[in-house]
Homo-oligomer: A and B are copies of this chain.
Amino acid sequence: MTDGLPMAVPAPGLPSRVRIHEVGARDGLQNEKATVPTEVKAEFIHRLADAGLTTIEATSFVHPKWVPQLADAEDLFPLLGDLPGVELPVLVPNARGLERALALGARRIAVFGSATESFARANLNRSVDESLAMFAPVVARAREEGVHVRGYLSMCFGDPWEGPVPVAQVVRTAGALLDMGCDELSLGDTIGVATPGHVAALLTGLAERGVATGALGVHFHDTYGQALANTLVALQHGVTTVDASAGGLGGCPYAKSATGNLATEDLVWMLDGLGVDTGVDLGRLTATSLWLAGRLGRPSPSRTVRALAPDQAQSPEE
């Protein structure tokens, strides 16, 4: 029905290429209650690579007590083998996690910071400054090993306890993460409340502080349906790294088909339509999300997945 669509019509002032940082295998799966077999995770990542994704966050070296779903990191990482041209960053919460990742040969890591005190307390059990102090030696050690470091910054727009988050507060923590040696930052709208003007204001604030746009990624949640509009504004401000999750994996636990992460398919549809190169084959990616939805036993919340495969997306099995 929609062969040849979307029609590619470039918009002025946008980048010609965007790097998608695929988070489904880590950020998406970590919220799954039922244990996903390690072999399924490995196949998922291989399929994502086959679909053309080149940055696929693979797992987390957090203590198994906190994220049981990703307790198999040591078993999973060797199964991924050599994927030419594909980066496989892993999350490390602290020095111990970094050593585990280094021992397996990880070449990209990510640390997970917070822009707000409340979330730093809730998620990291320490203040923002204490968490930065914890990350500093991790980042330094990673860089000694020539490992690329991404800094996640959560709650950049709103926080469930604190409400709207001031731009200056985010700029301060972002600056601290870059100053300690992070190669890139991912600006997270963890609860999905950002709107386009707020995104523009934060990116302007970071630029005024001297942060290079090339060091920034954006990580929007689609909780209120705003993720793609926010992404568009980020692209208009020169951002070329966008986080997304295949099939929209990582939905809020409270609602069966409400979404958390921006679905990679919805993002690719927009970028294909804008003539922005991602290297991703939308058909293969959709097939991958449908395959995983079958394994997880529920449909993908991605609008594009549902539109391209209305029958399959509604049934728990392909």
A residues whose Cβ falls under 8 Å from a Cβ of B: 1-12, 14, 157-158, 160, 163-164, 191-198, 200-201, 222-226, 228-229, 231-233, 252, 254-259, 263, 266, 269-270, 272-275, 302-304, 306-307, 310-311, 313-314
Can you offer 15 A-B residue contacts whose CB atoms are under 8 A?
A1-B160, A1-B191, A2-B191, A6-B164, A7-B157, A7-B164, A8-B197, A11-B200, A198-B273, A224-B269, A225-B304, A228-B228, A229-B231, A229-B232, A258-B307
> How many copies of this protein are present in the complex?
2
**Bound CA span A201–B4, Å:** 18
- B310 and A224 form a contact (CB under 8 A): no
* Contacts A10-B197, A258-B307; A164 near B4 (Cβ below 8 A): yes
CB distance from A161 to the nearest CB of B (A): 9
CB distance from A159 to the nearest CB of B (A): 9
**Bound CA span A307–B10, Å:** 33
- A303 and B225 form a contact (CB under 8 A): yes
CB distance from A303 to the nearest CB of B (A): 4
User: Whose C-beta in chain B lies nearest to the C-beta of A163?
Assistant: B4
- A193 and B5 form a contact (CB under 8 A): yes
A201 / chain B contacts, CB cutoff of 8 Å: 9
A313 / chain B contacts, CB cutoff of 8 Å: 255, 258
A306 / chain B contacts, CB cutoff of 8 Å: 255, 257-258
- A160 and B2 form a contact (CB under 8 A): yes
- A270 and B9 form a contact (CB under 8 A): no
User: Whose C-beta in chain B lies nearest to the C-beta of A266?
Assistant: B225
A314 / chain B contacts, CB cutoff of 8 Å: 255-256
- B231 and A228 form a contact (CB under 8 A): no
* Contacts A200-B11, A274-B197; A303 near B5 (Cβ below 8 A): no
CB distance from A187 to the nearest CB of B (A): 15
CB distance from A167 to the nearest CB of B (A): 8
CB distance from A91 to the nearest CB of B (A): 25
**Bound CA span A154–B100, Å:** 57
A272 / chain B contacts, CB cutoff of 8 Å: 195
Given contacts A195-B270, A196-B273, A223-B303, 8 further A-B contacts (CB under 8 A): A2-B158, A2-B163, A11-B200, A194-B273, A196-B270, A224-B307, A232-B232, A258-B310
A1 / chain B contacts, CB cutoff of 8 Å: 160, 191
* Contacts A11-B197, A197-B10; A192 near B270 (Cβ below 8 A): no
* Contacts A5-B158, A163-B4; A310 near B255 (Cβ below 8 A): yes
**Bound CA span A158–B200, Å:** 30
- A195 and B304 form a contact (CB under 8 A): no
CB distance from A69 to the nearest CB of B (A): 22
**Bound CA span A228–B225, Å:** 8
User: Whose C-beta in chain B lies nearest to the C-beta of A267?
Assistant: B225
Residue of B3, B9, B194, B258 touching A303 (CB-CB under 8 A)? B258
